[in-house]
Copies of this chain bind each other. A is one copy, B any other.
Amino acid sequence: MNRFLDNAIQLAKMAEGQTGVNPAVGSVVVNQGRIVGLGAHLKQGERHAEVQALDMAGDQARGGTIYVSLEPCTHYGSTPPCVNKIIEAGISKVVYAMKDITLDSPGDEILKSAGIDVEYQHDIEAEKMYRDFFAAKVSKIPEVTLKVSVSLDGKQATDAGQSQWITNPDVKQDVLKNRARHDAILTGAGTVEVDNPSLTVRIEGERQPIRVILDRSGRLSFRQNMFHDRLTPVWLYTENKALQNKEHPDNIKIIQLEECSIHNILRDLYDKGIGSLYVEAGPNVSSQFLQSECVQTLIIYYAPKVIGGSGKYQFYQTEEVLSLDKIPQFEIAHSEIIDQNIKVSLRKK
């Protein structure tokens, strides 16, 4: 593994979760074995990573090599194509870690015909990082992470609705960090009513994702804390046409859809610039997401308890009974122990 390409991927990772529907990209310009510029795409609509790095390098880019975590773009979007900038800067060689399968035209030819050496050093880390971005861009829905905190027997609460046992400070901290890496957090109306959560990131200096509520019937009273703290906007999805006219705080955006299916909501969120969504909800909404097959990452925190009962609050419940070859398939990507809780991260297969 080339260390400069590795640096470019590290830079991309720094910006993950803050680029909306754009990919997180990092770039390093090297001349005679010395880094002369580095950059990352930091926000949708702003300069691409290559441009940042080339600007920092200035004249020192001439004759140098640019390392990019993702294939440089060839299109005029909110900024001009990076391949043009690379050619103008006098770069001799381009090395990138991942092909952009969503590009209209391949940049390799353009670069090569300008006399630039192009090398695709496929990197598995980069592939992992962009997999969900590609899926999201092709299907035009955000990358979805579903998080559940459950007992060892898969329940979010006892049949009586008790769930305080789940809370563990270290797990909570891990959840907050994860929230901050997403553009938006989604939960259901039931969770808002019962738990009155803030759904914010209580870590100093971190960004607050947009809060999204699924309230099909439009039953919420807007009395809950999150409607009044003004820490970050609240978007409420509903099928209730009358809700728009109901009095509500002005930081709440009411979005009425004919049918609030998970897929319709995700399409609409993507259109509004949400590239990544973190779902933290009760069994009802969690199950709808799992059934929709739109969950790329499933994170389960298992508390070391078995709580039995009838399983009223099992995190995954469906009316239809699917055969084993039809159920959602995941593979374990990572597992760790967090203060006696087991965190398992899974990827959609």
Contact = CB atoms under 8 A, between A and B. Distances in A.
Interface in A18-57: 18, 28, 30, 32-40, 42-43, 52, 55-56
Contacts of A14: 7, 10, 28, 35, 38
A4 interface: yes
Nearest to A207: B33
A207 B34 contact: yes
A2 to B, nearest CB: 7
B2 A33 contact: no
Contacts of A205: 2, 4, 30, 33, 65
A15 interface: yes
A36 B42 contact: yes
Q: State how many copies of this chain the complex holds.
A: 2
B43 A34 contact: yes
B39 A56 contact: yes
A4 B18 CA distance: 13
A10 B38 CA distance: 12
Interface in A290-322: none
Nearest to A95: B205
Given A14-B10, A28-B14, A180 B33 contact: yes
Nearest to A204: B2
A35 B15 contact: yes
A238 interface: no
Nearest to A14: B7
B10 A35 contact: no
Contacts of A180: 33
A208 interface: yes
Contact of A40 (B35, B204, B207): B35
Nearest to A181: B3
Interface residues of A, number: 34
A11 interface: yes
A206 interface: yes
A34 B52 contact: no
Interface string A200-225: 01001111100000000000000000
Contacts of A36: 42-43
A52 B39 CA distance: 10
Given A14-B7, A56-B56, A205-B65, A34 B42 contact: yes
A107 to B, nearest CB: 20
B35 A38 contact: no
A33 B65 contact: no
A35 B30 contact: no
Interface string A49-79: 0001001100000000100000000000000
Contact of A18 (B2, B34, B65): B34
Contact of A11 (B2, B15, B38): B38
Interface of A: 2-4, 7, 10-11, 14-15, 18, 28, 30, 32-40, 42-43, 52, 55-56, 65, 177, 180, 201, 204-208
Per CB-CB distance, the 4 closest pairs between chain A and chain B, nearest first, are A33-B207, A33-B206, A7-B14, A18-B34
Given A14-B28, A56-B56, 17 more contacts: A2-B204, A2-B205, A3-B177, A4-B205, A10-B10, A18-B35, A30-B205, A32-B207, A33-B180, A33-B205, A33-B206, A33-B207, A33-B208, A34-B42, A34-B207, A35-B40, A52-B56
